Every structure is written in structure tokens, then in C-alpha cells.
Amino acid sequence: MSTVQASHLLIKHQGSRRPASWKDETGEQIRKRTKEDARAILLKHREEIMGSPNPAKKFGELARVHSDCSSARDNGDLGPFGRGQMQKQFEDAAFALKVGEISDVVDSDSGLHIILRTA
């Protein structure tokens, strides 16, 4: 497979390479958030997604509101991408998922993610 398509929900923390987002342009809140706090937030979102009758829909709803990535406006959709286009940890996790699967928490330089493979 040369490309995959995925959505993600990113929670940044004080160790993120760019500790600011569309929700927190100055990074004031992100700089206060520990990696452990970010992990707890993501695990709560993942639990809500997995308990939903329509996990993909719930994923998009939560990503739109809570993700620190600008892809939030598209329910977390990153579009199709190939090898070498994303950070390695993120890319490896996305390519390892089957279509419709949701990852555990993935740690990258950008922050912590959960990923939904969509194609």
C-alpha cells in the first residue's frame, strides 16, 4: 500500500514541538499541560469514541472540538498521505491500522494523538 487516509485527534502538551494551536494561539494553556494530562484527555476521548454506536462519527465530532490540529475543521481528516510525509511515529501507526480501526495513544513530536484510519 502506497498511501493511507486517516483522521486524528491531537492533544498538545508542554513538550510539543510547537506548543500553540488554533484553540490556544499563544500556547498559554498548552504550556501548562503535561504529557500525562494530554494522555488522560485522549484516553477519555478514546473511551467515549469506542463506546459510541458510531465510533467514526463520534471521532469526528470530538476532533472538531478538541483537537489541537487545524485539521479539526475537517473533523480531523488529514487526507491521503504516503510514507515519508508524516512524522515516523504517526506514519507507522497509521499504516499499521486497518480501515476503520482506531489507534491507541501515539506519541510524536507534535504531541499525543489517536488516529482513525479511513482508507
- Please say if 13 is a catalytic residue: no
Looking at 7, 21, 67, 113, which residue is catalytic?
Answer: 113
Looking at 5, 14, 87, 89, which residue is catalytic?
Answer: 87
Of 51, 20, 43, the C-alpha closest to 33 is: 20
Place of cell 488554533: 22
Looking at 8, 13, 16, 45, which residue is catalytic?
Answer: 8
- Please say if 71 is a catalytic residue: no
Q: 23 Cβ partners below 8 Å, 6+ apart?
A: 29, 68, 72
- Please say if 85 is a catalytic residue: no
First vs last Cα of the chain: how many Å apart?
11
- Please say if 5 is a catalytic residue: no
Looking at 69, 71, 103, 108, which residue is catalytic?
Answer: 69
- Please say if 16 is a catalytic residue: no
Active-site residue set: 8, 69, 87, 110, 113
